[in-house]
Amino acid sequence: MKEIVQEGAEVLNQVAEPIPDELFGSKKLNQLIEEMAKALDQQIEGVALAAPQVGVPYRLFIVRVDRTLPPPSLNTQGSTLAQNSQGQTLQAPEPKPEIEVYINPEIIKTSQKKVEVDEGCLSVRGVYGVTKRHEKVTIRARRIDGSTFQRGGSGLLAQIFEHETDHLNGVLFVEHAKRLVEVVHTHEPTI
């Protein structure tokens, strides 16, 4: 499985290269996407991942669409936990991974309105800040088979489109974010 590279890695500061036509539909491209999906699956808080984040300087990113949806509805006690007929507490399972692939993406339209949003990054662990992102974004990209498609998004999806496109252009969110904070995670038990 590919490791997610961290701030300071040269690949994160480079403009990524377009994926060449001969790679569309290839085993090599499919393998790269599978490895990226596995790396993203390991990051519970992760919603998207760009190829440069796994050390590959290609214009490609993936989105875990299932993680961009609202959480499951709550039961009458305000919890996602339920009980079976034996009184055992059950946790709702994580939804099945739903990956969207964006190859050689271009942002082709944005709303005039921008909003301030909280943001973090799997390649800048433990650092969070506030960025200004367009409220709506339309992107044009190619699929694994080489066909072209367009997808519009608002809210979190628009933010993802801009954040991941920044990665493809060698820009990390910390370069333009405000009010940066560092959250230190310890693995020691709390008392």
- Nearest 5°: the CA angle 129, 132, 137 is 125
**Residues classed as catalytic:** 164
Q: Which two tokens stand for residue 28?
A: 């090599």
Nearest to 116 by CA among 130, 106, 102: 130
Q: Is 103 exposed, middle or buried (0-12, 13-18, 19+ CB in 10 A)?
A: buried
Distances (CA, A) of 63 to 9, 99, 132: 22, 6, 20
DSSP-assigned letter for residue 70? P
End-to-end Cα distance, the chain = 35
Q: Which two tokens stand for residue 176?
A: 């333009």
DSSP-assigned letter for residue 58? B
